[in-house]
Amino acid sequence: MINETAIRCFLTLAKTLNFTETARQMYMTQQSVSKYIAKLEEDLGFKLFIRTRHYVMLTQAGKSYYTFFSRMDEEFAAVTEQTRQYYDNVNGSLLIGHLEWLEISSGVSNALRMVRADNPKLHFVIEKHPQFELNEMFYCRKLDLIITYKEFAPKGPGIMSMKALDTPLVLLVSPENPKAKDENATVDDFRCEPFIKAAASRERLSDSKHRARMQCRELGFTPSDIIISPNLESAYMAAEFGQGVLVSTMLSLMSLHSDLKCFPVGRTEELRCFWHEDHENPAVAAFAKALEKSYLQEK
């Protein structure tokens, strides 16, 4: 196997044509230079230099290998620089996406502050997307990490996940619903209302309805109908128009700032971070841990 130091000795000697100068530049003895050159000639099977008392010169084989090893050295340096730039870009940026309608700005800000304490030059971008687009961008590696409900977890091998927090579930009801106008109304009054559910990414209609029925069973609901909306925005609009009731969380902007009536369900939903296991930026996993820590500190 050809030794890298032997190649360095050869390239240096081919330029200087002087063993003394080569030894000086390589920080080794002339004897060591001679040994490396002799070993390289043995490995290659060709004499690389003509050596006399008065001069040193390259043989034809030496000229050929000098061209080859010089090109290899240049290509190695170029690949090394490209690789360095790649990891500078990978490790220097963090693309985070989260489900639209979520009010998680304080938790995300605190987590980013923790991560940047160890990496002050970290550049980050925060994007909000509808559930389907969020997962699709994650699958296509356009986002390093996404934050969404466990219910909408992206499926596939090599996907890492970490819980950020548990958030209370609430039932959203149109204020125009006659039952919602009763000051003493509770969630029990709406257990038979049509149940609205948002479809998940890459999910068949039958799977969406099965997921809706599962949640109804968990909550003790017996809806007169199950309505599957294509996305969360459509689901919220359907609830506002009084087409049915919708289960959401207290992190939802619609729960916090819309005219919809909120009724505690007595259950919680997990908000989780998801990222690809083979992602090479350590800031990705570090952010997930920091987000969990951020919400623990808020308790």
- Based on the domain organization, do 46 and 170 belong to the same domain? no
Task: Give me Rg for the CA atoms of the chain.
Answer: 32
Asked whether residue 179 falls in the same domain as residue 55, the answer is no
Number of domains in the chain: 2
Instruction: Give residue 22's domain range.
Output: 4-89
pLDDT at 36 over 90: yes
Predicted confidence at residue 298, as pLDDT, reads 72
Q: What is the mean pLDDT of residues 136-141?
A: 95
State how far the Cα of 128 lies from the Cα of 146, in Å rounded to an integer. Answer: 10
Q: Please check whether residues 129 and 243 belong to one and the same domain.
A: yes
Question: With bands split at pLDDT 50, 70 and 90, how would you rate the model's confidence at 257?
Answer: confident
**Structure-model confidence comparison of residues 145 and 255, the more confident one:** 145
For residues 220 and 168, membership in a common domain is answered with yes
- What's 232's domain CATH number? 3.40.190.290
Q: Tell me: pLDDT of 96 over 70.
A: yes
Domain boundary among 32, 62, 89: 89
Segment 208-231 mean pLDDT: 95
| pLDDT confidence of residue 107 | 92
Residue 84's pLDDT is 82
Task: Write the DSSP string, 95-139.
Answer: EEEEETTB--HHHHHHHHHHHHHH-TT-EEEEEEE-HHHHHHHHH
Q: What pLDDT sits at residue 131?
A: 87
Q: Mean pLDDT, to the nearest integer, of 7-13? A: 94
Question: Do residues 156 and 188 both lie within one domain?
Answer: yes
Within this chain, do residues 139 and 65 fall inside the same structural domain, yes or no?
A: no
CATH code assigned at 65 = 1.10.10.10
Q: Is the domain of 107 the same as that of 182?
A: yes
Give the DSSP H/E element, type plus range, for residue 19.
Answer: helix 19-26
Q: How many residues does the chain have?
A: 299
Q: Are residues 196 and 77 in the same domain?
A: no
Last residue of one domain, picked from the residues 89, 109, 134: 89
- How high does pLDDT run on average in the chain? 92
Cβ atoms of residues 49 and 34 within 8 Å: no
pLDDT tens digits, residue range 154-197? 999 999 999 999 999 999 999 999 999 998 999 999 999 999 99
CB atoms within 10 A of CB 211: 18
**Residues 6+ positions from 69 with CB-CB distance below 8 Å:** 7, 10, 11
**Domain check: are 80 and 147 in the same one?**
no
Quick one: 154 and 283 in the same domain?
yes
pLDDT in tens, 43-65: 999 999 999 888 999 999 999 99
The last residue of one of the domains, among 89, 122, 154, is 89
Q: Is residue 216 classed as helix, strand or coil in its secondary structure?
A: helix
Q: Average pLDDT, stretch 194-205? A: 89
Mean per-residue pLDDT for 264-284?
A: 94
Asked if residue 203 has pLDDT above 90, the reply is no
- From residue 6, alpha-carbon distances to 71, 110, 194, 225 in Å are 16, 53, 79, 79
Q: What's the gap between Cα 132 and its chain centre?
A: 17
Are 52 and 107 members of one domain?
Answer: no
Say whether both 158 and 281 belong to one domain: yes
pLDDT recorded at residue 299: 64
